[in-house]
Chain A
Amino acid sequence: MTKKDKFELVEKFIIENRETHYRLAYSYVRNKENALDIVQDSIFKALKSIDRLEEITYLKTWFYRILINTSIDFIRKHQRITVMDDEILSVHLPKLEDEMTDMDLQEAIDQLPPKYKTLIILRFFEDLKLEEIAAVTDQNVNTVKTRLYSALKKLRIEVGEEFRL
């Protein structure tokens, strides 16, 4: 495969999966402008370092890794800003009680340290396999498993049969 073809493939992947990538970024920063910035930044980084993607089969995990690192970097840089636009809005909106508990859980996930949060998002929202998560986060499968368990424990979520780790 030539560089040109590889570039085309990556380009296609980025365009086709733009909404997934946006959601992933959004779940870290909870704000439209920042999520768009992260998507943009990640595309730059990816296309610039395309040589480091050795096999096209790793495209997805490779891009996720860039996206997540960019998101976490962003949070780190903007740590002092604790209140986020979209959240202020939702706090003022009337809600059903049921949704309130969901909000609490959502907040609890947001409060998790990034390394745990990433695992929850990838496993339960993005439906990635443990092996894939291991590749994205660059740790071994056992570590992923242990950390997922402790993240769930922190959240007091019980893992049902249908979500076997």
Chain B
Amino acid sequence: MKKIDRLKKSYDNIDIPPELNDVVKDSIRQAKASQKKRPFLKQWTIGAVAAAALFVSSINMSPTMAQAMANIPVLGSIVEVLTVQKLTLDEKTYQADLATPAINGLENEKLQASLNEKYIEENKARFEQFEQEVAEMKKAGNGHLGIDTGYEVMTDTAQLLSIARYEVNTIGSSSTTMQYDTIDKQENILITLPSLFKDDQYIKVISSYIAEEMKRQMTADEEVSYLDFETIKPDQNFYITANHQLVISFDKYEVAPGYMGVVTFEIPSDILSNLLVSDVYIH
């Protein structure tokens, strides 16, 4: 066995070249750069385009198919989400990358315009503030500052569209905030958390479920840890999944230590059924 011990030693003594550090960091940087060019949404768009192409060709192919399709309401109005604006700043220690989404194809144009305007304003304000902070930091010496915003489509069904917008701020460590908008594409309304329920009992029911769930997760997995949790906010961040489940979301640091990141809880629909105004969205 001595032999293999000595071999292990020579394995451990394999010289580490000084350039390894740079190679690793450069690789990560490049991988990041190539990832930003191919955001989540693009894949979704490609899917939608492919589906659209398929529709067109199948309608051409058979009149029966065309007739059948005409009865599907989605075809009339395809709602999509696009990136309309990119604000970037790239200086050595100051990095900003803000992607602004826009919704297209909602029948309620007023709602659509107000959401899109909100998204643009939000990022414009963030960018201006960032530039100001950078200027101040430059005056005071030098430092690192980063901001990164973007969005993901969480749910996109015939009925619902849920968009999550995230903001990551980097000053030494990073903080992440998430915001969601959920839209009923058929009724053309923006869904808020209180609007789903008959009264405000939901706050208590959901909060106590989450508190229990936190306890359960912490016992099951040592690496999971939550801070003291009492109650959700009446307008807590949420979205609705394609399977009609309500998901409650907390920002980084809101209910858990930083390493847990943004945490979400899927609430079982059966504990909500008595509280809901209707079971159209959640069941």
Chain A residues in the interface with B (C-beta under 8 A): 1-5, 7-8, 11, 14-15, 18-19, 22-23, 26-27, 32, 36, 39-40, 43-44, 47-48, 101-102, 105-106, 109, 121, 124-125, 157-160, 162-163
Interface of B is mostly: helix
Indicate which residue in B7, B16, B148, B262 contacts A125 across the interface (CB closer than 8 Å). Answer: B7
Stretch at the interface among B23-31, B121-129, B230-238, B240-248: B23-31
Contact B176 A22 (CB under 8 A): no
Tell whether A47 pairs with B166 under 8 Å between CB atoms, given A15-B24, A18-B24, A157-B4.
no
Interchain CA distance A102-B2 in the complex, whole Å: 10
Contact B11 A27 (CB under 8 A): yes
Contact A39 B23 (CB under 8 A): yes
Query: B139 in the interface, Cβ–Cβ < 8 Å?
Result: no
Contact B14 A39 (CB under 8 A): no
- Show 20 A/B contacts (Cβ-Cβ < 8 Å), sorted by A: A1-B262, A2-B261, A4-B168, A15-B24, A22-B17, A26-B14, A36-B19, A36-B23, A39-B23, A39-B24, A39-B27, A43-B31, A44-B27, A47-B32, A47-B35, A101-B3, A102-B10, A124-B8, A125-B12, A163-B1
Contact A40 B11 (CB under 8 A): no
Interchain CA distance A163-B5 in the complex, whole Å: 10
- Count how many chain B residues have C-beta atoms less than 8 Å from C-beta atoms of the other chain: 40
One digit per residue, 1 when the CB lies within 8 angstroms of any chain A CB and 0 when it does not, for chain B 157-172 equals: 0000000001010000
Query: B67 in the interface, Cβ–Cβ < 8 Å?
Result: no
Query: B174 in the interface, Cβ–Cβ < 8 Å?
Result: yes
Interface of A is mostly: helix
A160 CB contacts on chain B under 8 angstroms: 1
Tell whether A8 pairs with B174 under 8 Å between CB atoms, given A48-B35, A102-B10, A160-B1.
yes
Contact B25 A15 (CB under 8 A): yes
Report B254 CB to chain A, min CB distance, Å: 13
A5 CB contacts on chain B under 8 angstroms: 176, 252, 261-262
Contact A4 B176 (CB under 8 A): yes
Report A71 CB to chain B, min CB distance, Å: 14
Interchain CA distance A11-B29 in the complex, whole Å: 10
Chain B residues in the interface with A (C-beta under 8 A): 1, 3-4, 6-8, 10-12, 14-17, 19-21, 23-28, 30-32, 34-35, 40, 148, 152, 166, 168, 174, 176, 178, 252, 260-263
A124 CB contacts on chain B under 8 angstroms: 4, 7-8
Contact B166 A4 (CB under 8 A): yes
Tell whether A105 pairs with B166 under 8 Å between CB atoms, given A15-B28, A43-B28, A44-B31.
no
Closest A residue by C-beta to B262: A2
A101 CB contacts on chain B under 8 angstroms: 3
Tell whether A27 pairs with B35 under 8 Å between CB atoms, given A5-B261, A15-B24, A15-B25.
no
Contact B7 A109 (CB under 8 A): yes
Interchain CA distance A11-B25 in the complex, whole Å: 9
Closest A residue by C-beta to B34: A48
Interchain CA distance A125-B261 in the complex, whole Å: 34
Contact A125 B178 (CB under 8 A): no
**Could you say which of A1, A4, A23, A157 has the most chain B C-beta atoms within 10 Å of its C-beta?**
A4
